[in-house]
Amino acid sequence: MLCVWWNQKGVIYYELLKLGETVNTERYQQQMINLNQALCEKRLEYQKRQNKVILLHDNALHSKIGQGND
């Protein structure tokens, strides 16, 4: 699985998981730490905003996607 974090300017951080690995709480927390470090290095304007990030999570159920009233 490829975990990718990006903004409107492009990819900020990515992590390629080994076959069978999943994102659990510990991995997600570590990805947030790594993302923060990558933001500080790659996006200097991030530091001007007092290190604030707004995350948009897509929690749509896959079974519900694409089911419309046609």
Whole-prediction pTM: 0.68
Q: One digit per residue, pLDDT tens: the chain, 70 residues?
A: 999 998 888 999 999 999 999 999 999 999 999 998 898 888 877 777 766 666 777 666 655 555 555 4
Give the domain extent around 1.
1-70
**What confidence score (pLDDT) does residue 36 get?**
86
Cβ–Cβ < 8 Å for 17, 32: no
Number of domains in the chain: 1
> Could you tell me the two tokens for 51?
């290190």
- Residue 43 confidence (pLDDT): 82
